[in-house]
Amino acid sequence: MNKILTAVVFIGLLAINPLYACEDDVPCDKCAKSSEYSWNPSNKYVTLKLQRFYSLDDQITAAFSANDYDSTKSLISEYLELASIYRCNWNYGNAIHDANRILGLISVRNGEIDEAAAYLVKAGKSTGSPQLDSFGPELDLANELLKLGKTEEVLIYLKDIGSFWDMNDGRINKWVEEIENGGKPEINRFSFHQGFWTLLTFWVSALWPILVTAIFLLALRNKTQKKWLFGIAGIVSGYIAMLAVNWASTSMLTDIASKLAQSGSDTMLMFSIYAFMGAGYIIPVVVVFAVSRLFVNRNV
């Protein structure tokens, strides 16, 4: 009787346990939608194990930066094991790409170039993620291996990441073309098209609070008291506002991107990115304007 009862309970658990709904033969869109094994589980479904899955990337990066390769490999092994469990989670693609990328970088530092190239190819087999689809993957391993002559593996990797990095602005096609023509371009997300307008945008962004404060000083030059004090206060408050917006947008964009990626809305994702970029310019203007009111002589 006990054996029969045990069997009934076990079969019942198999029927309701979300883990078994996420076997490899089950499509992710049918995988345990209301559980920790879904695409983007709500907070009530985030278990300690899932929290661990989310936190391992930062721990791996810290261990690797400290040159503690034994700890790095141990953490990566755990990361990939959890990735196999949460294969339908939005972070799965990050885990596959970043774990293999860092293993490849360790191999490069150990002089194991063929092994590093194999890890690069594995990294490119990622399914993508909200972050990878929009901002793109870290390309340091690909760049190093290209310099070391691993052209074939780098080309495979670039073509693979092109399947999910939708917002690469033509970078991938340009790199592939140059490499196939015998070139060795600098493969870097931030060094592409460093022309006049790119440099101008960079410097305007970097100096934005200074420029805004200078404009207000010029516009209110006949009404402003203690101009030097306003200049300092405006610049400092402007940079604080800019840093605050950047910090908030980084955390918020990750959450927004993960939700929008589920619906496949690339247009809304782009709109969100540009909205946050615009806020990075507008809010410092508002803050400097508010500061300027403290120094305006209202009797003039």
How is the chain classified by DSSP, letter by letter?
-HHHHHHHHHHHHHHH-GGGGGSTTS-GGGS-TTSTTSSS--GGG--HHHHHHHHHHHHHHHHHHTT-HHHHHHHHHHHHHHHHHSTTSTTHHHHHHHHHHHHHHHHHHTT-HHHHHHHHHHHHT----HHHHHT----HHHHHHHHTT-HHHHHHHHHHHTTT-TT-TTHHHHHHHHHHTT------TTSTT--HHHHHHHHHHHHHHHHHHHHHHHHTTTTBSSHHHHHHHHHHHHHHHHHHHHHHHHHHHHHHHHHHHHHT-HHHHHHHHHHHHHHHHHHHHHHHHHHHTTTB-TT-
For the chain, the average pLDDT equals 84
Mean pLDDT of 78-95: 95
Poorest-pLDDT segment among 144-148, 157-161, 225-229: 225-229
Whether residue 249 has pLDDT greater than 70:
yes
Poorest-pLDDT segment among 57-71, 153-167, 251-265, 271-285: 251-265
In this prediction, residue 12 carries a pLDDT of 43
Whether residue 130 has pLDDT greater than 90:
no
In this prediction, residue 31 carries a pLDDT of 75
In this prediction, residue 15 carries a pLDDT of 40
Whether residue 29 has pLDDT greater than 90:
no
In this prediction, residue 158 carries a pLDDT of 98
In this prediction, residue 202 carries a pLDDT of 72
Whether residue 152 has pLDDT greater than 60:
yes
Listed by start position, the domains of the chain span 47-180, 196-292
CATH architecture entry for 47-180: Alpha Horseshoe (1.25)
